[in-house]
Amino acid sequence: MLTRAFTAFAIAFALAAIAPAPARASDFIIRYGRVPIGYTAEVEPHLVLGSAPPGPGYGSGAGLGIRASFVVAPEGFIRGVNDSVAIGVGLDYTHYYGAYGFYGYRDQCVHFEPGPNGTAVCTDVTSNGGTYNYVFVPVVMQWNFWFTDRFSAFGEPGANLFFLGNHGFNAGGALYLGARYRIADRITLTGRIGYPTVGFGVSFMM
């Protein structure tokens, strides 16, 4: 069900991005420093897809998440370019099927009992295999480029904390590329691809 929803949302996002709009000069050239008026933060609920997760898990999964971004440099890094910089923090919950539901993921034994002939028998593992859940907490720097009144793009390097069952919390790198398409005064369709997840959602600018 979630996979179908992602597909439908991706198609809607692409159609919105190429939909015709009235030709105005401000749609194509924006003055330096002109970001959405009063924009200081952004809240983005989204759907999430993931594959090749960090840590001991593998397979593909889907879920839900939310991202909050806070503007720290409205005029960005490059003088004369309409960019801005924000700090983003998120929370994503993703339900995975190990190797598409066939094999589970590599469990770890946490307790052994003596077996015959000096062997050890595992009596307790970290999971029963099959499906499992990840919780991701991405922390990124979001570098925005405002191309038109409707379209903007961004890059997000950073780190990702993740929680996987009895394995506890771990950390890894994160890198995303994304784009927004404005559908209302302070509402955009937002897509993001990268590692360890991809997402599609709606952003509300504040």
Extract the tokens encoding 166: 């009895």
Establish whether the linkage from the previous residue to 196 is cis, with ω within 30° of 0.
yes
* DSSP H or E stretch at residue 184: strand 169-184
Please tell me the distance from the alpha carbon of residue 141 to that of residue 146, in angstroms, as a whole number: 16
For the chain, how big is the Rg over CA atoms in Å? Answer: 21
Model confidence at 168, pLDDT cuts 50, 70, 90, reads confident
Instruction: State yes or no: pLDDT of 10 exceeds 70.
Output: no
Instruction: State yes or no: pLDDT of 119 exceeds 80.
Output: yes
Q: Residue 16: phi, psi to the nearest 5?
A: -65, -40
pLDDT tens, 185-199? 899 999 999 999 999
Please tell me the distance from the alpha carbon of residue 196 to that of residue 192, in angstroms, as a whole number: 11
Higher pLDDT, 140 or 119: 140
Extract the tokens encoding 3: 């996979």
pLDDT tens, 33-67? 456 767 899 999 999 999 888 887 767 889 999 99
Domain segments of the chain as ranges: 1-10+36-89+107-147+170-206
Whole-prediction pTM: 0.73
Per-residue confidence (pLDDT) for residue 32, from 0 to 100: 45
Higher pLDDT, 2 or 36: 36
